[in-house]
Amino acid sequence: MSKKLIPSKPIPPLVPSLTGAGDFDSWKLRIKITLYDCNCWANVVEGDSDGTDMMVKVRAYAFIFHSISPVLIGQFTNVPEFDPKALWKAVCERYESKSTANKVGLIVQLLTQKLDKNEEIDILSGRIRMIESKLRQLDVVVDDALLQFALYRSLPDQYRAMTDSLATQKDMSYELAVTHLKGKQQSDVFMNHQNKKEVVDGTAMFVASKKSFKKSQYQE
């Protein structure tokens, strides 16, 4: 039996590890693009792999295997070794399904988001909306109150007074809360800039006055 196409170039370094349902879509796309680029996808994953060179199968299997978080890999120990097609199918069935574990995993991700340093509120809100969209695809309805809760708990303590106030307002919506929080973030950035400018200006004045004092003493 003739061997199928061997990859024309080595498989590159691993993609970011799969950590759960929340990043499955992006992980899946990265894997497919990488294996396509190495001429492995059609031969090893989609088509009949019986005639594929064994080394190609092993490399593709290893690439997928090591791109899964060690925390999750135990879920796929029943997959035949060095069978990339079987491993790929098992991962997709696990994270594309509407299982309770999948839903719970996304809900946990929704409620554990955090605003990164120097990150804009809009970016954080986009991540929350993306998780909401994935839950909706699994027939899980996330109401506005839960979205607000996820948003408020993702923020550092400097936002506590505002989030406590927003949470008590009867007609508050998620989008309106995002608008208020963006305003506070922009105000804080402006004030920090002004404070730094005042410190720099004060330092410059001190240095200038010190030089002037030394010059006057020298002239005397």
Q: Which of 178, 193, 190, 192 is nearest to 121 (CA)?
A: 178
Residue boundaries of the structural domains of the chain: 21-95, 100-219
Q: What is the pLDDT of residues 102-135, one digit of tens each?
A: 888 899 999 999 999 889 999 999 999 999 998 9
- Close Cβ partners of 92 (under 8 Å, ≥ 6 residues apart): 28
Between residues 164 and 200, the one the model is more confident about? 164
Q: What is the mean pLDDT of the chain?
A: 82
CB 166 within 8 A of CB 152: yes
214 has pLDDT over 90:
no
Question: Model-level pTM?
Answer: 0.55
Q: Which of 4, 98, 13 is nearest to 46 (CA)?
A: 4
pLDDT for 50 equals: 56
CA gap 141, 103 in Å, rounded: 11
CB 181 within 8 A of CB 162: yes
Q: What is the pLDDT of residues 161-198, one digit of tens each?
A: 999 999 999 899 999 999 999 999 999 876 777 666 55
pLDDT for 53 equals: 75
